[in-house]
């Protein structure tokens, strides 16, 4: 059989990698992102929007409640996207019910997995897709497995500052990172717990402009609150990364302004924003 896999994922798609592994084990030919090529069966996983029809479709860009066939027991086909790292979840669940986030709609299970359920020992790097690693009661096991295997970690979703304590922050410090660490400050009402987490990062020597904090804008905060959160993050020695919930003139302009690090030439982000004319 000829199998067609379609996605708009820029780097990798775990669901399709597992489906590919299943079909290749059966001797099927697997094609990636060849929408006009005839195939006996097609699967699509859309992150942002549906582009082509397929026999089986899923993903947040199609319908966040629909998942592609669950073949968790199968290790991903790492040749599909030609990555040099393993990829998977040790914990999919997130306890937060954020109105701007698609994760609560996915009904992810509260199940802990070992890295060895998906890690390929050919690689010295591992990418965790966890939505909230430190909400896993068995998070220590995940880090111990990573340390014992002497792996470098990529983490594309980041860590919840509100859940940090000394033990968790020390675990982050002990881990070898292939990518900068990322955190988030989405809601202004979380300021006290966010500040506590930022202080823990300083205490455990994770204060670095290479590490960043995502700042949700265009959802339920004002321009003044956006500037304020970015300033607090900068004061703690980390880099703010504005993340627009809606894309309009203000959110595009503010994101561009912060990402250019224009503010570092001024005494404050507020003063820099007052002088910034980019995008006008």
pLDDT in tens, 99-147: 777 776 777 789 999 999 999 999 999 999 999 999 999 999 999 999 9
- For every residue of 162-195, which 3-state class applies, written as one string? HHCCHHHHHHHHHCEECCCCEEEECCHHHHHHHH
SS3 135: helix
Contact in structure between 125 and 170 (CB atoms under 8 Å) = no
Q: Return the exposure string of 100-131: e unless at least 16 CB atoms fall within 10 Å of the residue's CB, then b.
A: ebebbebebeeebbebeebbeeebebbbbbbb
- Say how far apart CA 64 and CA 116 lie, in whole Å: 27
* For the chain, percent of residues with pLDDT exceeding 90: 78
Average pLDDT of the chain, as a whole number: 92
For the whole model, what pTM was predicted? 0.88
- Radius of gyration of the chain from its Cα atoms, rounded to whole angstroms: 21
Question: Which residues have C-beta within 8 Å of that of residue 117, sequence separation ≥ 6?
Answer: 72, 73, 75, 88
């Amino acid at each position: 059989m000829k199998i067609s896999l379609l996605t708009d994922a820029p780097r990798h798609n775990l669901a399709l990698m597992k489906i590919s592994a299943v079909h290749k084990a059966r001797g099927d030919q697997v094609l990636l992102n060849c929408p006009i090529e005839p195939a006996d069966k097609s699967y699509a996983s859309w992150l942002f929007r549906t582009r082509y029809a397929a026999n089986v479709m899923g993903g947040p860009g199609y319908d966040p409640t629909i998942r592609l066939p669950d073949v968790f027991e199968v290790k991903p086909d790492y040749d599909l996207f030609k990555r040099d790292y393993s990829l998977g979840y040790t914990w999919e669940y997130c306890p937060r019910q954020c109105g701007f986030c698609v994760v609560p709609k996915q009904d992810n299970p509260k199940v802990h997995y070992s890295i060895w359920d998906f890690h390929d020992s050919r690689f010295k790097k591992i990418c965790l897709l966890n939505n909230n690693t430190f909400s896993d009661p068995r998070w220590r096991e995940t880090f111990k497995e990573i340390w014992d295997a002497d792996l470098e970690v990529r983490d594309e979703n980041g860590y919840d500052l509100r859940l940090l304590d000394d033990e968790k922050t020390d675990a982050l410090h002990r881990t070898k990172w292939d990518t900068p660490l990322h955190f988030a400050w989405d809601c202004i009402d979380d300021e006290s717990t966010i500040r506590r987490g930022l202080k823990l990062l300083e205490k455990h020597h994770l204060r670095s402009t290479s590490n960043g904090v995502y700042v949700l804008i265009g959802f339920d905060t004002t321009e003044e609150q956006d500037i304020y959160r970015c300033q607090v993050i900068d004061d703690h020695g980390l880099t703010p990364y504005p993340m627009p919930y809606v894309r309009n003139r203000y959110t595009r302009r503010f994101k561009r302004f912060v990402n250019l690090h224009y503010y570092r030439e001024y005494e404050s982000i507020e003063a820099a924003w007052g002088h910034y004319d980019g995008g006008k």
